[in-house]
Structure 1
Amino acid sequence: MRIKDLIDKSKHIQFIWIHNHGESKLAEINELTEKDLSYKFEWFEITEYHGKPCIEFNL
């Protein structure tokens, strides 16, 4: 499954945190690039960032 597939089904998510081989990227959902959205992930977790809903993806 790609990040875009999950985001399209999610509601009320404001932040996305992408963890990839020791590097991390935190962005608001509307700041994600097409490349970010196309990544396939191993697992995800719904958390909070500054009190706002966040999905963390591990690639």
Structure 2
Amino acid sequence: MSDDDVNRIDCPRCDRPIRAVSSTGPGTHRAHPCGHLVSVAFARWASSKSDDETDTP
């Protein structure tokens, strides 16, 4: 398993890799590029995972 596989975040609906989660309201969060709606909990988790990657030297 490569580092890319470990750090990859997948959409909880279709299991495709996501590049970003956009938030357009308090309860509206979408995974990109697939466009599926995701929960606020997933959006927060994905955000914290991407923050962890940028903090690593």
TM-score (norm 2): 0.26
Q: Which has the higher contact order (CA 8 A, sep 6+)?
A: 1
Q: What is the TM-score normalised by the length of structure 1?
A: 0.26
Higher helix share: 2
